[in-house]
Amino acid sequence: MKDIFIKIHPVNKVAETLMQLYPPMLANNYLPDWYKKQESYKRGDINTSSIANAWGFRKARKCPAMREVITQGIVIPAWSDINIIKNGNEWNWSIGASVHDDDVGGDIEYHNTSQIEGMELNVIDGYGILKLMSPYSFETPNGYGLEFQDPFYHVRRNIKILPGKVETDIWHSVNFPFEFYQDLNKLNRKHIFIKAGEPLVICNIYKKEKNKIDLQLQNYDSKYQEEVIDYQHIKSKSMSQSWTDYKENLK
């Protein structure tokens, strides 16, 4: 398997300093606190035995679907403190270290309500949806792009980055629109604060392919279900439900 490079460029010297202070990192080096604290048992440990399974439930970190999302890709931390304040009908927002010399909101801009019509997002009445202007640009090899999404499992529950895929082999500038978890318009006072260095965005590389998807809805197939059960037996009976060992066994 060959390595696929992802290059992240600062847009100027200020952004270079911020990148050095709060560097983007491979996701497996930026694991959520809860994930690191949960017990993890290796194959052969008493807690992986069928006897131990009768004593309690396995932790979330053992879920293969969660594990793949949490440990794959690149985490981009907040490059500055971010403040969004609502006081009555007044809104103010700012970002600690201004990189772009923008007139509206420093490094935070917005898409107006006409641009997001019908999307039913938690936004600011009269403005629309805010977006963070990235101090970085992104470069991938020809034929590859990046998918950006909110780092849900890192447990930041104030803003939610809208997911999107960018052909970063062609377009290198990427910004991050977001909605709020709450409808802040119904509140009199609210302070949203994101600390510099906290996980802000997670991105994963994808291969740009123009293959047409052929969706096939199947009738019940007993032979196929027997194959599924056989795989489950390998995983649960042979290797103590270790997803890592299970994948290795299938190679």
Q: Is the pTM of this model over 0.75?
A: yes
| pLDDT at site 3 | 79
Taking the CB of residue 159, how many other CB atoms lie within 10 A of it?
20
| pLDDT at site 242 | 57
Q: What is the pLDDT of residues 225-238, one digit of tens each?
A: 888 777 666 665 55
Is residue 201 a contact partner of residue 76, using CB atoms and an 8 Å limit? yes
Radius of gyration of the chain (CA): 22
- Give the residue from 106, 126, 105, 131 showing the smallest Cα distance to 114: 126
- Give the residue from 153, 86, 156 showing the smallest Cα distance to 123: 86
- DSSP characters over 182-230: S-GGG-SEEEEEE-TTSEEEEEEEEE---PPP---PPPP-HHHHHHHHH
- Give the residue from 157, 109, 153, 155 showing the smallest Cα distance to 132: 109
Give me the mean pLDDT over the 152-174 stretch: 93
Return the H-helix or E-strand segment holding 235.
Answer: none
- Give the residue from 76, 158, 176, 166 showing the smallest Cα distance to 122: 158
pLDDT at 103 over 50: no
Q: What is the pLDDT of residues 43-96, one digit of tens each?
A: 566 555 555 554 456 678 778 888 888 999 999 999 999 999 999 989 988 887
| E-state strands within the chain | 7-10, 25-26, 74-77, 82-87, 90-95, 108-111, 129-132, 136-139, 144-149, 159-161, 164-166, 176-180, 189-194, 199-207
Q: What is the pLDDT of residues 197-213, one digit of tens each?
A: 999 999 999 999 887 88
| pLDDT at site 113 | 86
| pLDDT at site 212 | 84
Q: What is the pLDDT of residues 20-44, one digit of tens each?
A: 999 999 999 999 999 988 876 665 6
